[in-house]
Amino acid sequence: MAMPVSGVPTETPATQAPELGSARALGRIGRAVRLNRKATIGAVLLAIFILIALFPGVIAHDSPTQDAYAPQLGISTAHLLGTNHYGQDLFAQLVYGTRNVLIIAFVVGLATTTIAVLIGVAAAYLGGLADSSLNVVTDVLLVIPLFPLLIVIAAYAHGGTTLVLIAAITLTSWSYTARQLRSQALTLRNRDFLEAARVRGERPLYIILVELIPTMTSLLVAAFLTNALYAVLFASSLQFIGLGDPNTVSWGTTLYWAQNNAALQTGEPLWAIAPGFLIAALGAAFALLNYAFDEIGNPALRPVRKVRKKKGNEERAGK
Amino acid sequence: MRYALRRLGFFVVTLWIALTLNFLLPRLMPGNPALAMMSKFHGELSPKALNALEILFGVNTKESLLSQYFGYLHQILTGNFGTSLSQYPASVSSVIGSAIWWTLGLVGIATFLAFVLGTGLGIVSAWRRGSKLDSVVPPTFVIVSAIPYFWIAMVLVLIFGLTLHWFPSQGGYYVTTDTPGLNFTFFQDVLNHAILPAVSLLIATIGTWILIMRNTMITTLAEDYVRMARAKGLPNRRIMLDYAARNAILPNLTGFAMSLGFVVSGAILIEYVFNYPGVGYMLLQAVSSEDYPLMQGLFLLITVAVLFAILVADVLTALLDPRTRTAS
């Protein structure tokens, strides 16, 4: 499982000039992805996975669940990754399994980020008692070890269908982002452009949605990516240890059956290694994109670059 | 002092919320899952053990939720976590006691090594910003941090355990040929079994330390006192270690404590792959055998351990770093 990389979440300073609209910010992000090699690799990887998830039937011509073949066939042109203990085509299983992981990643990523925005920005904007109480909830969730908590929840739910996994992960893992967004919103709260909106007599909801949130676009994108990455790792891990629905077609479930049949020890290593590799690759796609946005959103890296810049071009490209 | 007290207060509140979660979860789930578990073991349990379990899970009781809650809190705070069902009649505490040392040793050593090595690499990487080292190390570990812990463990099992046969890849010691005891062969056996799990955990977590340290170090290097040290013509090594790293390392203590939860989560999965007889493996076994008292006890133990580590790190930071005292 990845850990949050920036050590002290409260110290995220204002990232960009507030007058930037969200469209321009998105344009900036698009340009950054093109210019940054890490981000480009991440984006391409992610695009490939999305295509596979959308059209699995085009790529794999076998059924992911049918025990149609002889068990433990080796690698061949008919079975790119061989067949497993049950005679299922492993390649087809992994291709069809992509959709489940991506759905979890995107739904959890969006849902956690939305909850985090609501709670973080509300806390910062409202201040006072609302802020303190929301803060306690956020801080508590931040320090309770999430994975054991998810294990307990999934155990009581008697194994999680995809929906249960999504709900459990979403409800437990929004706190880190909420904290980041709160401190970001706090630094912006007393800026002139917000004051101007208040003087114009705009309602708080309008100010938050139209004035405040667009200034945090790059932070939101980064938060989405981080949360999607966690979702992939958490959900696959839960499925791997048998707390998912064992009939779902997904990478984690494939791993579960591989582990159940001691695939590593009985000479079918691909059965366990291949799905794990795909999880790592999808995770890496999110992480690489996120690393790029971290560089955009964290100006702490910038002043140093000016001071110690020697090979300027390379580093400017890495911005 | 006030800071430490506030952190202590937070510790207590969080602990209380964790306890409450433990109380509410089985009761909120549709069809109290503990009911099935209890009926399965009915007749095998002594009345006293049964009663303790009824209080833990709210079965067969006509009491209000609130008085159940106080009964539950009272029982937990007096150290009674119930009876393990899968290892009846052993109490949950004694079952956990047999597993905890394995995890403490494994996680403790791996985390310490990851922290020291990672921080060191982070320092050098930030100091030589733009060098070859700095352009390779951070992106590599960004990718590594996205790899599921258990996959690293599987790959190590496959390569060093099953293919090269360098190290044993299952269990904590040779159960059939070795008996636990304070002798050299047993010690060596345990060490041999711990190497692959520890290295898995090390690989999985070291990236975080590198990246955290590198980022803080970069910020610190821009400070005036570092420029001052350069202007004075101090040797580079001294600026790097005594001026920059020394100030950059303290905020990381908090990050260190915060990510312990992730380390513990990772250890659960790694123990699972290696069948390592620690707390994480036990937790998953408790789940699969529907031994809910043991599962709850382990969840509480893990939570308390992580919270305690955070508290220690917070207090340490406050003691060592005057900046946090004035800031709060």
Q: What is the mean pLDDT of the segment spanning B278-286?
A: 90
To probe the interface with A, which of B143, B170, B275 has the most A CB atoms within 10 Å? Answer: B143
Question: In terms of pLDDT, which residue wins out, A9 or B195?
Answer: B195
Instruction: Give the tokens for residue B251.
Output: 């905020």
Q: How far apart are CA B74 and CA A285, in angstroms?
A: 48
User: Mean pLDDT across chain B, nearest whole number?
Assistant: 81
Q: How far apart are CA A32 and CA A9, in angstroms?
A: 23
Q: How far apart are CA A279 and CA A230, in angstroms?
A: 11
The neighbouring-strand residues paired with A83 are: A89
Smallest CA–CA distance, residue A236 to chain B, in Å, is 9
pLDDT confidence band for A312 (50 / 70 / 90): very low
Q: How far apart are CA A244 and CA A224, in angstroms?
A: 23
H or E element in which residue A251 lies: helix A251-260
Residue A107: what pLDDT?
96
Ordered alpha helix ranges (H), chain B:
2-28, 33-41, 47-57, 65-77, 92-127, 132-144, 149-156, 184-221, 224-231, 236-238, 246-258, 260-274, 279-288, 292-320, 322-327
Q: How far apart are CA A229 and CA A206, in angstroms?
A: 31
Residue A68: what pLDDT?
67
Within its chain, how far is the Cα of A249 from the centroid? 20
Instruction: Give the tokens for residue B269.
Output: 């999965």
Residue A82: what pLDDT?
72
Q: What is the pLDDT of residues A255-291, one digit of tens each?
A: 998 888 877 777 788 888 889 999 999 998 998 888 7
Instruction: Give the tokens for residue B303.
Output: 């939570």
H or E element in which residue A254 lies: helix A251-260
Please check the confidence at residue A305 and state whether its pLDDT lies above 60: no
Helices and strands: H and E segment counts in chain A: 15, 0
Q: Are residues A7 and B266, on separate chains, in Cβ contact within 8 Å?
A: no
Residue A9: what pLDDT?
38
Smallest CA–CA distance, residue A213 to chain B, in Å, is 26
The neighbouring-strand residues paired with B187 are: none
Q: How far apart are CA A90 and CA A75, in angstroms?
A: 10
Residue B310: what pLDDT?
83
Q: Are residues A151 and B25, on separate chains, in Cβ contact within 8 Å?
A: no
The neighbouring-strand residues paired with B88 are: none
Select from A2, A145, A304 the Cβ nearest to the Cβ of B218: A304
Residue A244, SS3 per DSSP: strand
| C-alpha distance from residue B7 to each of A128, A144, A297, B11, B308 (Å) | 20, 15, 30, 6, 11
pLDDT confidence band for A114 (50 / 70 / 90): very high
Select from A8, A287, A315 the Cβ nearest to the Cβ of B142: A287
Please check the confidence at residue A304 and state whether its pLDDT lies above 70: no
Q: How far apart are CA B157 and CA A53, in angstroms?
A: 30
Q: Which residues have a Cβ under 8 Å from the Cβ of A243 and sit 6 or more positions away?
A: A151, A154, A155, A159, A160, B287
Q: How far apart are CA A317 and CA A33, in angstroms?
A: 10
Which of A 241-300 lie inside 8 A of B, CB atoms?
241-243, 255, 259, 264-265, 269, 272-273, 276-277, 279-280, 283-284, 286-288, 291, 298, 300
Q: What backbone torsions phi and psi does residue A244 show, to the nearest 5 degrees?
A: -95, -175
Q: What is the pLDDT of residues B232-270, one digit of tens each?
A: 988 888 888 888 888 888 777 777 776 777 778 788 999
Establish how many alpha carbons lie within 13 A of residue A208's alpha carbon, considering only the half-sphere containing its beta carbon: 17
Q: How far apart are CA B25 and CA B38, in angstroms?
A: 17
Q: What is the pLDDT of residues A123-134, one digit of tens each?
A: 887 778 888 888
pLDDT confidence band for A298 (50 / 70 / 90): low
Please check the confidence at residue B42 and state whether its pLDDT lies above 50: yes
Return the residue of B nearest to A307 by Cα: B222
Residue B11: what pLDDT?
87
Q: What backbone torsions phi and psi does residue B83 show, to the nearest 5 degrees?
A: -110, 140
Q: How far apart are CA A94 and CA A98, in angstroms?
A: 6
- DSSP string for A18-55: TT--HHHHHHHHHHHHHH-HHHHHHHHHHHHHHHHHH-
Residue B219, SS3 per DSSP: helix
Pick the closest to residue A283 from A310, A313, A251 (CA basis). Answer: A251
Q: Are residues A148 and B268, on separate chains, in Cβ contact within 8 Å?
A: yes
Buried b (16+ CB within 10 A) or exposed e, B34-69: beebbeebeeebeeebbebbbbbbbbeeeeeeeebb
The neighbouring-strand residues paired with B91 are: B83
pLDDT confidence band for B34 (50 / 70 / 90): low
What's the alpha-carbon Rg for chain B, to the nearest Å?
24
Q: Are residues A153 and B25, on separate chains, in Cβ contact within 8 Å?
A: yes
Pick the closest to residue B268 from B257, B256, B284 (CA basis). Answer: B284
Residues of chain A with Cβ-Cβ distance to B149 below 8 Å are: 1, 237
Upstream peptide bond of B89 is cis (omega within 30 degrees of 0): yes
Q: How far apart are CA B139 and CA B150, in angstroms?
A: 21
Between A9-13, A112-116, A160-164, B90-94, the lowest mean confidence (pLDDT) is in A9-13
Residue B167, SS3 per DSSP: coil
Please check the confidence at residue A315 and state whether its pLDDT lies above 50: no
To probe the interface with A, which of B96, B151, B250 has the most A CB atoms within 10 Å? Answer: B151
pLDDT confidence band for B132 (50 / 70 / 90): confident
| C-alpha distance from residue B227 to each of A118, A302, A312, B289 (Å) | 42, 16, 21, 61
Q: What is the mean pLDDT of the segment spanning B119-133?
A: 86
Q: What is the pLDDT of residues A178-188, one digit of tens each?
A: 888 888 888 88
- DSSP string for A121-151: HHHHHH-HHHHHHHHHHHHHHHHS-HHHHHH
